[in-house]
Structure 1
Amino acid sequence: MNDTLLEVKGLKKYFPIKQGFLRRVVGHVRAVDGVDLTIKRGETFAIVGESGCGKSTTGRTILRLEEPTEGEVIFHHSELGPVNVEKADSKTLRRIRPEMQIIFQDPFSSLDSRMTVGRIIAEPMIINNTLSGRALKDRVAELLTVVGLRPEHASRYPHAFSGGQRQRIGIARALALNPKLIVCDEPVSALDVSVQAQVLNLLEDLQERFDLTYLFISHDLSVVEHIADRVAVMYVGRVVEVASTDELFYNPKMPYTEALLSALPKPDPRNRVRPTVLSGEVPSPANPPSGCYFHPRCPYAQEICKKETPQLRDVGGNHLAACHFADQLQLKGATPLTEVPAPPVLSTPTTQEATQ
């Protein structure tokens, strides 16, 4: 069996800018601007970046919740083989959609408040005519148990649950059709930190139990470091670096990645090094700069960066970077936990010293 589950080639999603009484198109917002990704079966592939960089739109366009402007999305279906999602007709989409599901960012608005939890989880199976009657009720009870809730919760409405519990309901709904790929669109960003850890651990347990593949979208590098096998960094609609999690965190090749990593909390509280503050503002995806999109804010930019767009290339060890000087720069990564100095060892006082 092919180890690759999803291939994304040159994916673009442009939103038209309309002005005037006749609503004429005067430009485009380049939300996704030529993204290339390859996701293997059973791995957690993360996309990180600042808000507005296009990572959520990338996930939605891969699932064709947004129609792509250009590019290919090839999903390796268990029965149909490689399927071009962007060209699939409604009949083919109906075949492949059960294997491609999504967990939404907001557990409050992603659940219909007028439907019981049981109905919410059962809806995908009802629409796809997979189960009915007693078998459907048993499957709903099973899914609730799998995500850490009780079967009797099926008769309640979403408002009766906390944010973490609602996200568990959303996860149960995503699991209903036995998917192969789940797009996790910032699934813990709306939750308290203590609840985040519980949901992340649940996702890891479910991945091992059901052989799931995750496309994990997040702006929180601490979360990504915990859960991801490989990471792609996005900037203004483009992927600028891809590597294994350890390689990217501790040996970045792209200046933008270095700046992101510098903002991570340090394991040693005595380390007072300030994060790298980038000059300027994030460019508008409606009017990006020429050459490298990052060059107006990059402290290492040269003249070539203003004129030529760097291609995403392998700089060694399957580490991809879109930077003209990726082979030359010595960038600083995150601080490894092994570098935290040990606390001073205090000798145990003798009985005579203790009584003085």
Structure 2
Amino acid sequence: MNDVLLEVKDLKKHFPIHAGLLRRTVGHVKAVDGVSLSINRGETFAVVGESGCGKSTTGRTILRLEEPTDGEVIFHDKSLGAVNIEKADAKQLKKIRPQMQIIFQDPFSSLDSRMTVGRIIAEPMVINRTHEGRALKDRIAELLTVVGMRPEHASRYPHAFSGGQRQRIGIARALALNPELIICDEPVSALDVSVQAQVLNLLEDLQNKFDLTYMFISHDLSVVEHIADRVAVMYVGKVVEVASTEQLFYNPKMPYTEALLSALPKPDPRNRTRPTALTGDVPSPANPPSGCYFHPRCPYAQDICAVEAPPLRDTGDGHFAACHFSDTLTLKGATKLQDVPVATAEEAAADVIDAHASTSDSGSGTATEAR
């Protein structure tokens, strides 16, 4: 049996909509609408979806940075046992929060520009009274070294560093209290591609070194495929599929997941198939459709989809999907590199030249004029 660290049961976070002179509540934005998941110790559990699907709000609500509307969040601490985060009072939260940390998306706005790097990293240790004096300075130097920076950087301010370095500072701050769980809220989305790879490799190295557990929130499936052990897909506040990375990428059971995977870059340069085009727009979480939230855009939708919401059920081997027809649909996953036919360099080059020529001819000017 897997050693579960975090359990989330039917978690909801609804934000009230106020209108009129008296600011009466006229509705709710259902940012998180019944999310259930579990994360095992030592794994990287990714949560993916389009912008606005509620994945970041889910992470913040788990940490009680947002107060949950309903549901349970159970953290299995080695010394305190099972702790219900949503019911914990201030005293309990102070005990458990050192074990649950977060790395924010924006490495600049998440760091106080008026504080030195040393003070930023020291702050959680000072608040929790874990280090002081010389021990505190030594711990700051150790953390900076661990994330690939120099101890003398502690005296500088955030504006003196690049985006990748600022994110390393944020990671050092998250590590300060030796947490078990770190929620990574799109930690590389604001970084250049080359820097993304460096930060992802750093996160993997730190996970192995300190036995960390990650909840990795991202909209980039390429990043998720590289780092995640299991993946949950969210759509309009709900989890619609959960599976191992291998299962989800190459054998999806939910049509929305198929559409997301079709947008991944193809390993074969000659494969120019376009991503699956979804009709309509993402529904508003303030006024979601009846039945399956995805049915207005789903190419496989039938009558039952409009009236009955499908449960998130196990389709086998721990692969969960919220689709009435997950057992009968044959959906297309990502392309495996080993499935790509081997082409000679001359063939690949010829294809690229032909594509460039056809694009140039169809444009308003020739390639020579453009140059």
Structure 1 position 23 matched with structure 2 position 19: no
Where does residue 132 of structure 2 map in the other structure?
A: 132
**1:117 corresponding residue in structure 2:** 117
Task: Give the 3-state SS of the residue equivalent to 1:18 in structure 2.
Answer: strand
The two structures, once aligned, show a CA RMSD in angstroms of: 1.0
**What secondary structure is seen at the aligned counterpart in 1 of 2:301?**
coil
2: CA distance, partners of 1:196 / 1:2: 30
SS of corresponding position for 1:98: helix
Task: Name the structure 2 match of 1:8.
Answer: 8
Q: Is the aligned partner of 1:320 residue 2:320? A: yes
How does 1:177-326 map onto structure 2 within 5 Å?
Answer: 177-326=177-326
Provide the residue aligned with 1:354 in structure 2. Answer: none
Determine the C-alpha separation between the residues in 1 that align with 2:338 and 2:117.
45
- Superposition misfits of 4+ residues, deviation over 3 angstroms: none
- Partner Cα distance (1:175, 1:344) in 2: 47
The one-character-per-residue Cα deviations of 1:259-278 (angstroms, maximum 9, x if unpaired) are 00000000011101110010
Hey, what's the Cα distance between the residues in 2 that align with 1:153 and 1:17?
A: 45
- Residues in 1 aligned to 2:113 and 2:7: alpha-carbon distance in whole angstroms: 36
Structure 2: which amino acid aligns with 1:301? A
Q: State the 1:339 CA deviation.
A: 1.2
Higher helix share: 2
Whole-angstrom CA distance in 1 between matches of 2:340 and 2:124: 48
User: Can you give the 5+ residue segments of structure 2 that lack an aligned partner in the other structure?
Assistant: 347-371
TM (normalized to structure 1)? 0.96
Change (3 A) 1:2 1:330: closer
TM-score with structure 2 setting the length: 0.92
SS of 1:247's equivalent? helix
SS at match of 1:17: strand
Aligned partner of 1:133: which letter? G
| In structure 1, C-alpha distance between the alignment counterparts of 2:8 and 2:150, rounded to whole Å | 38
Could you list the per-position Cα deviations for residues 74-125 of structure 1 after superposition, in whole angstroms to 9, with x for gaps in the alignment? Answer: 0001211000000000000000000000000000100000000000000000
Change in 2 beyond 3 A, CA 1:220/1:345 = closer
Q: Distance in 2 between matches of 1:268 and 1:345?
A: 12
* Partner-residue secondary structure (3-state), 1:10: strand
* Identity, % of aligned positions: 82
Q: CA 1:345 to 1:59, structure 2 compared with 1: closer, same or farther past 3 Å? A: closer
Q: Give SS of 1:183's match.
A: strand
Residues of 1 paired with 2:156 and 2:321: CA distance? Answer: 49
1:55 partnered with 2:17: no
In 2, Cα distance between equivalents of 1:345 and 1:68: 56
Deviation, structure 1 residue 345: 8.2
Aligned position for 1:174: 174
